[in-house]
Amino acid sequence: MGRLCRATSHKFLSVESQVSGPALRARGVSKAFGGRQALEGVDFEVGPGEVVALIGPNGAGKTTLLSILAGIAEPDSGEVDGNGVAWVPQQAALYRRLSVRENLLLFARLQHDAGQTNDPPGQMVDRMLELTGLGERAGDRVGTLSGGNQQRVNIAIGLMAEPAVLLLDEPSVGLDPGQRERLWDFVLGLVGTGTAVAFSTHDIQEAERYAERIVVVAEGEGIFSGTADELRQAVDTGSGDLESSFLAFLREHGH
């Protein structure tokens, strides 16, 4: 217990790493806040173009893991390898009083000045407006947009530097099912262009529906990695219901 399930992890690696190796890989990552251990020896990988769901109860350490993967936070121990990783924060990190275009332009300029992209900011904004399908609302204040559209703008900013891996922290929180679906159409459209996506969620259905692989974290430990079917098989609940399997799995591992 406390390690990623080796068999499934290997199976996955044997498929992807033969081609070009994982786009992002973390090994034995630990992080404590004060006396509280938020992460303990977690391994995590994302292959090129792969969609991985990071699932676990609130406080499990998902945000902490993603921010370490993004290079925003330093782990206490363990290592992270990966280039071209972009991170999209949990809540829309946008200025609500600025318009969609102004928000995009600000971050395009900052990314340009920081050397993350060479594209002229103006062109970048036009491209992102097209990508998000928000061209008609470019002049509207972000605060007046729906949560789903705000999240699109939020994600678009993460895409400006054309990352190999996009890390999304609970991207669909607070969205209704329709908004959620449109958001995923948008995100999976990106995957079609070769971008790998790792997203956190505490919704097992969302994980099954949109991710190729599911990684379960609980209380700072990685306890499972594999497909939804493998998670169902890992515990025998007899019902075939993924949510029950997930909860049973957590219980079996003492969470």
Partner 1 sequence: MRWLLLKDLQILRRSPLQLTLLILYPVVIALLVGFAMTRDGEQTTVALYNAMPADSPLGFGGEEVDGDEIRDQLCDRVDCLSADSVEDATKMVESGEATAAVILPEDLGEKILSLASLNPQSPEVQVVVNGSNTVESEVTDDRIEAMLSEANLLLAKRLSEAANQYLDLILEGGEFSLFGQELEVLGLQKSEQILKRLENKVPAGTDREELQRAIRFAGLATDNLDLAGPLLTAITQPIKADKIEVGDEAPSLDTFAIGVTTIFALMFVTVLLVAGSLALEKEENAFTRLTAGLVTRLQILLAKVGLGTVVGFGVAVILLVGLGLFVGIEWGRAPLWLLAILFGAAAFSAGGAALGAAAREVRAATLAAVMICLPVALLSLVPDDAVGPAIETVISVVSAAFPFKPALDALTSGLEISGSSVWLNYLHLAVLAAAYSALARVALRRF
Ligand X SMILES: Nc1ncnc2c1ncn2[C@@H]1O[C@H](COP(=O)(O)OP(=O)(O)O)[C@@H](O)[C@H]1O
> Which residues of this chain interact with partner 1, rule CB under 8 A?
70-72, 87, 89-98, 102, 106-107, 109-111, 113-114, 116, 141, 157
* Count of residues making up the chain: 255
CA 191 → CA 50, 164, 210, 212, distances in Å? 8, 10, 11, 12
Those residues whose C-beta lies under 8 Å from the C-beta of residue 131, and which sit 6 or more positions away, are 156, 159
Does residue 172 bind ligand X (CB under 6 A)?
A: no
Residue of 169, 166, 162 whose CA lies nearest to 188: 166
CA 100 to CA 115: how far, in whole Å? Answer: 23
Taking CB under 6 A as the criterion, which residues in 10-39 touch ligand X?
33, 36, 38
Q: Which does 58 bind (CB under 5 to 8 A by kind): partner 1, Mg ion, ligand X, none?
A: ligand X
Taking CB under 6 A as the criterion, which residues in 64-83 touch ligand X?
64
Stretch that binds Mg ion, among 24-32, 63-71, 96-104, 245-253 (CB under 5 A): 63-71
By CB under 6 A, the count of residues binding ligand X is 11
Q: Which does 141 bind (CB under 5 to 8 A by kind): partner 1, Mg ion, ligand X, none?
A: partner 1
- 8 Å CB contact between 212 and 52: yes
Residue of 194, 95, 204 whose CA lies nearest to 144: 95
Q: Which of 29, 60, 160, 165 binds ligand X (CB under 6 A)?
A: 60
Q: Which residues of the chain form contacts with ligand X (CB under 6 A)?
A: 33, 36, 38, 56, 58-64
